[in-house]
Structure 1
Amino acid sequence: MDDSKIRQHISRQFNTELEEIRHKVLVMGGLVEQQLALAIQAFTTNDMETAELVMRRDNLINDMEVEIDLECTQIIALRQPTAFDLRLLLTVIKIISELEIAGDHAERIAKVAIKLSDTEGKHDQYHEILHMAELVKKMLNGALDAFARMSIDGITVITAMDEKVDLEYAGIVRQWVTHMMEDPRNITRTLHSLWAVRALERIGDHACYLCEHLIFMVKGEAVRHLSQQELEEKLNA
């Protein structure tokens, strides 16, 4: 699907409003991607300045979520859209909510980085989460790219990555718990670190939810709670 479906209105102003909404969602998504990258950088390199930057910029994401939500609500009330246009606006409202939550998780990672700077003990195993972080970044970027293209082609490739993220998360938890048992001095530090890894795993989940919302937008079908196999079968039917 391309974006031709939102270029067929008699009202040019309506076209403009929808295009502006889409643009703002992508800007918001780009900011969340930046927040995630900076939070991981702060966490893995003990960069307090970057961690504080992530925390300060979280309000920008919150403000954008409120602004876009209000604009969508106003368009629905004034334009009374139907069919694809209505699904687009409803999807945008859901997407910005997922992005706002993902931004909160990125901020949580940054907060953990700051806590670790004041915690005794040593834990230099943060390189273990870098591969997991790359997977999550790809999921988020892929979902936003699909929204930009107004297409669900290849969307199951993105959702399939969530299982890999979950496996990475489980592996890190097991390994870090072992580190705690081996050296009790690192218990507090490792517990804080596990909260950051959990936040990263949750961002992957929200990237999956973005994909589910996009499927509703394009096909008008709810696919929440389907397994990966069921999702693939449904989209390939």
Structure 2
Amino acid sequence: MKSEDYTQHISKQFNADLEEVRSHILAMGGLVEKQVVDAVQALVEADSALASEVISNEKKVNGMERRIDEECTRIIALRQPAASDLRLLVAATKANTDLERIGDEANKIAKMAIRLSEDGALPRGYIETRHIGHHVTAMLRQSLDAFARFDVDQAVAVVREDKSVDIEYESAMRLMVTFMMEDPRYIKRGLNVLWSLRALERIGDHARNISEQVIYLVKGKDIRHLPLSTLQDDHVLTSEEKKNLKTE
């Protein structure tokens, strides 16, 4: 399936409806990506004003989620789509939910940023937070790009990258726990950083989910909870796409 395949319908309005859904998903993704970037910056720079801006934008993200859900429901009810059109709407609905949850995680980080700005800076944890923040933001951007271009290679790359984020998260958690055990004075502030790291790890999970939906959309294969090798074993990918797949 290619990006132009779903725009070949007799009804021009159907084409427009599908394109509108995709455009709204990408617009919401752009806002959510900015939320994550701003939340991480607010945390590492103790910028409570920026953190408050992230929190205030949550209602906008929630409103976009509701609008996209309503659009998808209306199209399914009126058009009764099948095959690739139905997969597009299903993938959009699920990606919409993941984007809203990413917005929730960014909101949590922003709240932690405000608490840390009030309690004082922490000697450790910010470098790791910034690094993982950049990593998951890149994953989110790539997953949205894959959705925009129906790019399976890009989607597979994001799915693979989630393991790297998990490793970085576990390492950062061990570092923070060790630091708090060595100096109990920083336990309260350290917990705020730990919760922020957890939120970032969850953002990586949601970016992976979006990429899994891209694979479902293009290939018609649900790979959730399955090893990447499933793609190769079930002959879902083309020979060219398999070159970029590292089996588990």
TM-score range, shorter chain: over 0.9
CA distance in 1, matches of 2:23, 2:123: 41
Evaluate the alpha carbon distance shift between residue 81 and residue 206 of structure 1 in structure 2; reply closer, same or farther with a 3 A threshold. same
Partner residue in 1 for 2:241: none
Give the superposition deviation at 1:124: 4.5
Q: Percent same amino acid among aligned pairs?
A: 47
Partner residue in 1 for 2:39: 39
Partner residue in 2 for 1:207: 207
CA distance in 2, matches of 1:124, 1:178: 11
**Residues 33, 140 of structure 2: 8 Å contact kept:** yes
CA distance in 2, matches of 1:95, 1:121: 35
Give the superposition deviation at 1:230: 3.4
**Residues 121, 186 of structure 1: 8 Å contact kept:** no
CA distance in 1, matches of 2:30, 2:178: 37
What letter matches 1:195 in structure 2? W
**Residues 58, 103 of structure 2: 8 Å contact kept:** yes
The CA RMSD measured in Å over matched residues stands at 1.5
1:82 equivalent in alignment to 2:82 = yes
Evaluate the alpha carbon distance shift between residue 228 and residue 221 of structure 1 in structure 2; reply closer, same or farther with a 3 A threshold. closer
Partner residue in 1 for 2:11: 11
Give the superposition deviation at 1:231: 4.2
TM-score (norm 1): 0.95
**Residues 142, 154 of structure 2: 8 Å contact kept:** no
Give the superposition deviation at 1:128: 1.9
CA distance in 1, matches of 2:135, 2:232: 20
Partner residue in 1 for 2:131: 131
Deviations 1:33-87 (A, max 9, x none): 0000000000000000000000000111100000010011011001111111111
Deviations 1:148-185 (A, max 9, x none): 10221232211111111011111111111111111110
Give the superposition deviation at 1:233: 4.7
Evaluate the alpha carbon distance shift between residue 204 and residue 121 of structure 1 in structure 2; reply closer, same or farther with a 3 A threshold. closer
Aligned residues: 237
**Residues 35, 103 of structure 1: 8 Å contact kept:** yes
CA distance in 1, matches of 2:121, 2:67: 43
Which ranges of structure 2 fall in alignment gaps of 5 or more residues? Answer: 239-248
Partner residue in 2 for 1:145: 145
* Matched position secondary structure for 1:3: coil
CA distance in 1, matches of 2:130, 2:230: 30
TM-score (norm 2): 0.91
Which ranges of structure 1 fall in alignment gaps of 5 or more residues? Answer: none
**Residues 112, 196 of structure 1: 8 Å contact kept:** yes
